[in-house]
Amino acid sequence: MTPVYLAFDTGAQSCSVALLKEGGVPHILTKAMRRGQAEALLPMIDDLVRQQGLEMAHISHIAVTTGPGSFAGVRVGIAAARGLALALSVPAIGFTTFEALAFAARTLVEQETTDQLVLVALAARGDQLYCQSFDKKGQSISAPALSELEDIAALYADWRGGIIGSGAEKLAMRMPHARMMVAPEGLAAALVHLAAQTVTVKYGRREHDALPSPFYLRPPDAKQSTRPGLTRLDPS
């Protein structure tokens, strides 16, 4: 049976879903949203699968972004990927937002392979950015990090590759030799291609045994309440 790849991203300011039948072109649905991915994702998947005359049973692989991104959004996507993978008995593959954007920069953004270094910069709090750099083959050349904007600009002052991501514009203004790249509206298109290439060993093999898990570079905002709980009444 021809492999069919389903990919989705809910960790950014949108909910995007892509479906790719091996040897074909991806079909994509994207909706801009800051909240509401939990309610939107599964109906979007169902709509896209039906539009292509397929059923969920035809899906052979699932891919999802694992972050960094919105804490709630990332967890929505991963929970859906895990649930669908278990229900359909198919592998679920997790990719970081860095990996998906680096792949998009090298391929989908320019509609052809871009032979250059890529720095992925994602907006965090205030003037902080998540960042990671990749070589011309798409392999990481630095560890994922959360740093101040000025520190990143100083570290990459001589960067002569591309910059992509929600924090790229701020960073590009401080890096005169870098090339600003506009990210696609939704990451699912890049993700579904990346998953297909990974599975067919064109982009490097991965283990599929472990289910995707959130990728965090800072602790969540939510904290356990320190307020005392209800006092249990004496039944006597």
Give the per-residue pLDDT at 205: 41
Do 41 and 147 belong together in one domain? no
Do 195 and 170 belong together in one domain? no
Do 89 and 122 belong together in one domain? no
Give the per-residue pLDDT at 183: 87
Tokens matching residue 53:
């005359």
Q: Is 206 inside any structural domain?
A: no
Q: Is 24 inside any structural domain?
A: yes
Q: Higher-confidence residue: 99 or 220?
A: 99
CA distances from 230 to 166, 225, 227, 233, 236 (A): 44, 13, 10, 9, 17
Q: Is 153 inside any structural domain?
A: yes
- The CATH number assigned to the domain holding 64 equals 3.30.420.40
Q: Is 149 inside any structural domain?
A: yes
141: containing domain: 111-180
State the pTM of this model: 0.87
Question: What value does the mean pLDDT take over residues 150-168?
Answer: 94
pLDDT at position 225 over 60: no
Q: Is 229 inside any structural domain?
A: no
pLDDT at position 53 over 50: yes
Q: Is 18 inside any structural domain?
A: yes
Give the per-residue pLDDT at 98: 97
**Residue 203: pLDDT band with limits 50, 70, 90:** very low
Q: What is the pLDDT of residues 16-33, one digit of tens each?
A: 999 999 889 999 999 999
Q: Is 147 inside any structural domain?
A: yes
Give the per-residue pLDDT at 228: 61
- Cα–Cα dist 164/190, whole Å: 13
Do 75 and 134 belong together in one domain? no
Do 94 and 124 belong together in one domain? no
Lowest mean pLDDT among 9-23, 48-62, 171-185, 192-206: 192-206
Lowest mean pLDDT among 41-50, 129-138, 175-184: 175-184
Query: What is the total count of domains within the chain?
Result: 2
Do 54 and 80 belong together in one domain? yes
Give the per-residue pLDDT at 211: 84
